Amino acid sequence: MSNPIYLALDVPQIEPAKALVNKVKGHIGGVKLGLEFFCAHGSHGVHEIAHLGLPIFLDLKFHDIPNTVASAMQAIHVYQPAIVTVHASGGRAMMEDAKAAAAEGCKVVAVTMLTSMDANDLTATGVYGSAETQVMRLAELAHDAGLDGIVCSGQEVGMVKKAWKDGFFVVPGLRPAGNGTGDQKRVVTPAQARNNGASVLVIGRPISRADDPLAAARAIEATL
């Protein structure tokens, strides 16, 4: 894609959200709508953003039994999303059914390990080993299930890219040089992630909460 930046729209009110997208749309390639946005605005909100003319990444991280996830995937056809997420930890059967139920042309990608987690957090959930080991394990599972790609941090994307050369890789938790990490633990800059093999760069607060979102978006785009 020409511009890999997807704006994570973490703006609670719909009109300011639309205004933000319109302000920066010349410097982003799409919009990511996650749980916060979807729970606040539902179908109406998704359609309102879709009408602005950019691809929609519906980041709902489906994780349930295969039949339920397949039904949910069918239910969101109406939004015509370009990308949808499921949790890789839901297992191969769930991922296979999710992909089978997705609309034609919609990329289904599996979340491997949240960028707010590190190895200590993994251990606390009963999973032992490094973040890299866990990401590779789940990436292989997603590949075998026929998914289009995965979601991982910029620290692992290069490693996964070597093993899955034609995969589609979504990298969140990005912070431009000089920005604080906030609640993210495994972070890199947008340019580093892109150079390491990221297909999509998910960027939220560094743009949406900047004093000048347009200047922030333009500056990030210029580094790629």
Distance between CA atoms of residues 45 and 51, nearest Å: 10
Active site residues: 61
- Please say whether the beta carbons of 134 and 112 come within 8 A: yes
Contact 90, 69 (CB under 8 A): yes
> CA neighbours within 13 Å on the CB side: how many for 58?
28
- Identify the residue whose tokens are 């993210």: 184
Which residues are paired to 205 by β-bridges?
none
Burial of 224 (0-12, 13-18, 19+ CB in 10 A): middle
